[in-house]
Amino acid sequence: PPVIRREDYQPPLWLVDHIRLEFDLDAHATRVKARLSVTRAGRHDRPLRLDGDGLVPLSVAVDGKALSPADWRLDDDVLVIALPGNAHEVETEVQIAPATNTQLMGLYASGGLLCTQCEPEGFRRITFFPDRPDVLSRYDVTMRADKATYPVLLANGDPVEQGELPDGRHWARWVDPYPKPSYLFAMVAGDLACNADSFTTMSGRAVRLGIWVREEDLPRTSHAMTALKNSMAWDERVYGREYDLDVFNIVAVSDFNFGAMENKGLNIFNSRYVLADPETATDPDYDAIESVVAHEYFHNWSGDRVTCRDWFQLSLKEGFTVYRDQCFSADMGSAAVKRIEDVRTLRAAQFQEDAGPLAHPVRPESYMEISNFYTATVYNKGAELIRMIALLLGPERFRQGTDLYFERHDGQAVTCEDFVKAMEDGGGIDLGQFRLWYSQAGTPRLTVRQRYDPASGSLSITLRQTVPPTPGQPEKAPMAIPVKFALFDPATGEHGGEELVVLTRDQLEMRREGFAQAPVLSLNRGFAAPVIVEAEQSAQDLAFLAARDDDPFSRYEAMQQLMINGLLAHISGAPLESDVIIDSIRRTITDPTLDRSFVAEAVRLPSEAYLGDQMQVVDPDAIHAARERLMTGIGEALESEWRALHAECARNGFSLSADARAARKLRGVALSYLVASGAPDGAALAFGQFDRADNMTERQAALAILVNRETPERDQALAAFYRRYAGNALVVDKWFQTQALAFHPDTVEIVQALAGHADFTLANPNRARALYSAFAANQWAFNRADGKGYRMVADAIIALDKLNPQTAARLVPPLGRWRRFDGARGAMMRAELERIAATPGLSRDVLEQATKSLA
């Protein structure tokens, strides 16, 4: 497949000012008529080229006259028409079959609905069009469909007309006054019920809000509606951004390749990010709904009103919008816990990506298939870049910068450079060297050396940065890294103020005076920069910070580092030193001043995968054994405390208050340690919680603990869970996922058997991910020494690729980690990648991921 390069960007030769679309909808044969008002851009004599994917024109006309097949040609899938003048009306007609569209890109059928997904290049599967984000057009859409099957007809913009047709059909016309790229086009037809509400904007305009779902799901939409209204108010308050249409609709669909999609005025969501009630959704599900609703809503400005010039600029909208949704969620709940969760996600997904064969800059230089670049680097590292800019500017100048960005580029398709320039101009700052964050891949390492001189009472600190080589980038220039730190006096437990320094060269030396004894360094506070810190801190210093640091992220980090150090030492042969860890945990769980949600985060052991990331060569078995051992040790040593916490955190009656949620989270952690302690009543306690829970958070927490144990309660709970929720797809997904994530010696066989379960299907991305993405994230099971896990995932990729290449391609990266494992495992992973790459008829999506992973 050809490689598309950022440096080859050329502005469009033809623009489409206006498009009129007419759909005669039918699941098996939908007719699409498109009338494009095209204008020649600049002086050239090149033909009009309209992208298509699998389309065959039934007719082509220019300025009302039908063209004969000799007047146009298909160049691969591109419709090429030579046009004499500078402005023409071009009409095409095609027929498509939504029911057989298993890729879920373009117009497809899901659970009786017809819906669209156009980002990044799905519109070309619906009609011929210059399907690139820098061609902005006004859309006028008429939909005709059978009224009984598709009583609701929705599209972007505002509804302007509707009516009945003779043969039991009806029609609706939607007009979107805002020019938009084709990737933001959307349309839904189906039998949907609406949770209707309204929002009055800051200038006093009433906006009609609708969340459209299957009738039986209506009672599960209130949380999403609250999140939507909160997001609208937040964007006005924090960014001065007001909503701009008369209606804002969200539709939930059950087959969706991603989380959701920000189509102008008509967001389409994976139903897992809309539907929630206490019986079926966990507290993290509620949080995810809040943040995805906010994310898509915020795109109305950061993405729709100001969009991307080309797909290399994807982080322009995604990094910024993730940053915006992270800040929103922080404001809605605990900012400290939100930062901990976001950093955990970044480290788990993005740091791994940056350290492997698929590493790429936040603004990539090339791609074969753009769908493969909706990555943690573009999204999450992209958000960290905006966070650093916000830190460097401070809140007021950051707001001046974003105001200028929106004002300067409203209605345009722009670049990451345009964003940085607006922040420089609006915020009055030079971001020259900072731009390297967009172009250099790899996670910088920050090494810290401290020397305390008791005679002078001074401390010298040396910070050194190195950026590792990544594919295509062997040499790196030093980055501008903002470093926040504080120096604690161990006697008083106080520090003399937080400092911010910006490391711009390889090395920075600092000297601070006036310490009667060696101070304790708290570094990268708030995780201000997305870097790996290598600081040799003693267990005493870490325990001190775990107990005293006033920066909650750094306090959490100190506790985690204490656990990591103990586990890594044990893995390399030392006895397990758990006393300091246990003391720190005891202090944390008995500190009445701490928020329980923070406590739960702080005392949880680091994941097996994160421990693996700290090793030269990942040893999944040793990691699993050491972590289980420490878990048991902490469980035993603090058994009575866990028991007390588990009882104290129980509640009568369900509430979504922060307090109640924090209690549920800590209760889950307490139960996991209690069961790990080997207490004879552990499994019964877990089963009791599972059985009596009045909410999914506690029920699933107990199930996730029981699936790791070979006890009769395990099978009882799994059977009861399935019986209770059979038919509820989102909960059945949890049933598959929980088993795929289990620490059980037979997880490979269990997953294999589940793939044959009557409820399993590769055709539904949520279900496929619930089984295979979860399994591939289970380090111990996936990397079982016999290689059966690798084979099973490779088989799934090959099978899924035939249906849904995008979803299949997302399963490849775990196999690409072969360099991180021992020779035998590495060879088996490579062999599976080679087998995938050699499969005839492979999609561009999987081919790109598999070949790059082998390099």
Minimum gap (Å) between residue 257 Cβ and Zn ion: 13
Residue 142 or 372: the one with the smaller Cβ distance to ligand HT7 is 372
User: Are 846 and 834 within 8 A, CB to CB?
Assistant: no
In the region spanning residues 309 to 328, those forming contacts with ligand HT7, defined by CB under 6 A, are 318
- If the CB atoms of residues 260 and 388 are measured against ligand HT7, the closer one turns out to be 260
Do 377 and 360 touch, CB atoms closer than 8 A? yes
Give dist(CA 83, CA 851) in Å, integer: 41
Q: Which does 119 bind (CB under 5 to 8 A by kind): ligand HT7, Zn ion, none?
A: ligand HT7
Residues within window 260-299 making contact with ligand HT7, judged by CB under 6 A: 260-262, 295-296, 299
Number of residues that this document lists for the chain: 855
| 117 contact, one of ligand HT7, Zn ion, none, CB 5-8 Å limit per kind | ligand HT7
- Size of interface with Zn ion, in residues (CB under 5 A): 2
Environment class of residue 238 by beta-carbon count within 10 Å: exposed (0-12), middle (13-18) or buried (19+)? middle
Within 300-319, the residues that bind Zn ion by CB under 5 A are 318
Nearest CB to ligand HT7, comparing residues 522 and 807: 807
From ligand HT7, Zn ion, none, interface partner of 258 (C-beta below 5 to 8 A by class): ligand HT7
φ, ψ for residue 728 (rounded to 5)?
Answer: -95, 100
Q: Which stretch binds ligand HT7 (CB under 6 A): 188-196, 257-265, 442-450, 811-819?
A: 257-265
User: What is the C-alpha separation between 814 and 748, in angstroms, rounded?
Assistant: 15
DSSP code for 772: I
What is the nearest approach in angstroms of ligand HT7 to the Cβ of residue 766? Answer: 13
Cβ neighbours of residue 749 closer than 8 Å, sequence gap 6 or more: none
The smaller minimum CB distance to ligand HT7, of residues 291 and 672, is found at: 291
Residue pair 491/519 in contact (Cβ under 8 Å)? The answer is: no
Report helix, strand and coil shares of the chain as percent, to nearest 5: 45, 20, 35
8-state DSSP, 393: H
CB of 274 vs ligand HT7, minimal distance in Å:
14
Burial group, residue 636, by CB count within 10 angstroms (0-12, 13-18, 19+): middle
Nearer to ligand HT7, 133 or 427 (CB): 133
341 within 8 A of 330, measured Cβ to Cβ: no
CA angle 281, 251, 406 (to 5 degrees): 105
Q: Tell me: does residue 806 bind ligand HT7 (CB under 6 A).
A: yes
Based on CB atoms, which residue is closest to Zn ion, 321 or 334?
Answer: 321
In terms of DSSP bridges, do strands 72-75 and 65-66 run parallel, antiparallel, or are they unpaired?
Answer: unpaired
Is-cis flag, bond preceding 120, omega within 30?
A: yes
Closer to ligand HT7 by CB, 316 or 543: give it: 316
Q: Which does 596 bind (CB under 5 to 8 A by kind): Zn ion, ligand HT7, none?
A: none
- Residue 171: phi, psi to the nearest 5? -145, 160
The residues that bridge with 195 in the sheet, in sequence order, are: 211
Which positions from 26 through 55 interact with ligand HT7, judged by CB under 6 A? none
Q: Which stretch binds ligand HT7 (CB under 6 A): 113-121, 216-224, 278-286, 741-749?
A: 113-121
Helix ranges restricted to H, 435-514: 436-439
CA neighbor of 376 nearest in space, from 420, 311, 318, 415: 318
Measured from the CB of residue 323, what is the shortest distance to Zn ion in angstroms? Answer: 11
Give the pairing of strands 206-213 and 247-253.
parallel
In degrees, to the nearest 5, what angle opens at C-alpha 170 toward C-alphas 164 and 175?
Answer: 100
Least spacing, CB of residue 12 vs ligand HT7, in Å: 21
**Spatial distance between the Cα atoms of 822 and 52, rounded to a whole number of angstroms:** 46
Residues sharing a CB contact under 8 Å with residue 151, sequence separation 6 or more, in sequence order: 170, 190, 191, 192
Site for ligand HT7, residues 355 to 374, rule: CB under 6 A:
371, 374
- Two tokens, residue 697: 């958070």
300 is a site residue for ligand HT7 (CB under 6 A): no
Q: Which is nearer to ligand HT7, 285 or 541 (CB)?
A: 285
The smaller minimum CB distance to Zn ion, of residues 323 and 821, is found at 323
Q: Work out what residue 613 binds among ligand HT7, Zn ion, none; the CB cut-off runs from 5 to 8 Å by kind.
A: none
| CA 280 – CA 584 distance, rounded (Å) | 35
**Residue number with the shortest CB distance to ligand HT7?**
258
**Which one of ligand HT7, Zn ion, none interacts with residue 334, CB within 5 to 8 A by kind?**
none
In the block, tokens 């890109």 appear at: 105
> Which CB, 274 or 523, lies closer to ligand HT7?
274
Nearer to ligand HT7, 117 or 440 (CB): 117
**Selected binder of ligand HT7 within 101, 254, 257, 695 (CB under 6 A):** 257
Query: Rounded to whole angstroms, how far apart are CA atoms 234 and 473?
Result: 40
Q: Judge whether 804 and 102 are in contact, CB under 8 Å.
A: yes
Pick the binder of ligand HT7 from 103, 117, 249, 470 (CB under 6 A): 117
Find which of ligand HT7, Zn ion, none residue 402 binds, CB within 5 to 8 Å per kind. none
Q: Of 259-267, 409-417, 461-469, 845-853, which segment contacts ligand HT7 by CB under 6 A?
A: 259-267
User: Cβ 194 to ligand HT7, closest distance in Å?
Assistant: 22
Minimal distance, residue 855 CB to ligand HT7, in Å:
24
The DSSP bridge partners found for residue 248 are: 209
Say which DSSP state 127 is in. S
- Which is the catalytic residue, given 119, 290, 296, 557? 296
Interacting residue with ligand HT7 among 51, 53, 91, 119 (CB under 6 A): 119
Q: How far is the CB of 318 from Zn ion (least distance, A)?
A: 5
- Max distance between CA atoms of the chain, in angstroms, equals 96
With CB under 5 to 8 Å by kind, the binding choice for 713 among ligand HT7, Zn ion, none is none
Say which entry of Zn ion, ligand HT7, none residue 374 contacts (CB below 5 to 8 A, set by partner kind): ligand HT7
One-letter amino acid of 51: D
Which is closer to Zn ion, CB of 142 or CB of 321? 321
Region binding ligand HT7 by CB under 6 A among candidate stretches 167-175, 255-263, 583-591, 836-844: 255-263
Closer residue to ligand HT7 in complex, CB, 119/801: 119
How far apart are CB 317 and ligand HT7 at their closest, in Å? 7
Q: Which residue has the tokens 């325990």?
A: 543
Q: Is 89 a catalytic residue?
A: no
Residue 340 C-beta: closest distance to ligand HT7, Å = 23
Per CB under 6 A, contacts with ligand HT7 among 178-207 are: none
Give the binding range for ligand HT7 (CB under 6 A) out of 115-123, 153-161, 222-230, 726-734.
Answer: 115-123
Q: What angle do CA 62, 64, 67 make, to 5 degrees?
A: 45
- The DSSP annotation for 632-668 comes to HHHHHHTHHHHHHHHHHT--SS---SHHHHHHHHHHH
Considering only residues 313 to 372 of the shown chain, the ones binding Zn ion according to CB under 5 A are: 318, 321
| C-alpha separations of 790 from 353, 475, 609 in Å | 19, 33, 16
- β-strands 481-488, 260-261 pairing: unpaired
What is the secondary structure of 163-194 as a DSSP string? EE-TTSEEEEEEEEEEEE-GGG--EEEE--EE
Closest distance of CB 62 from ligand HT7, Å: 33
310 touches, from ligand HT7, Zn ion, none (C-beta below 5 to 8 Å by class): none
Write down the least CB distance from residue 258 to Zn ion, Å.
9
| 760 binding ligand HT7? (CB under 6 A) | no
CB of 296 to ligand HT7, least distance (A): 5
Say whether residue 258 binds ligand HT7 (CB under 6 A): yes
Enclosing H/E stretch for 162: strand 158-164
Which residues are marked as active site? 296
Binding footprint of ligand HT7 on the chain (CB under 6 A): 117, 119-120, 257-258, 260-262, 295-296, 299, 318, 371, 374, 806
Residues that bind Zn ion (CB under 5 A): 318, 321
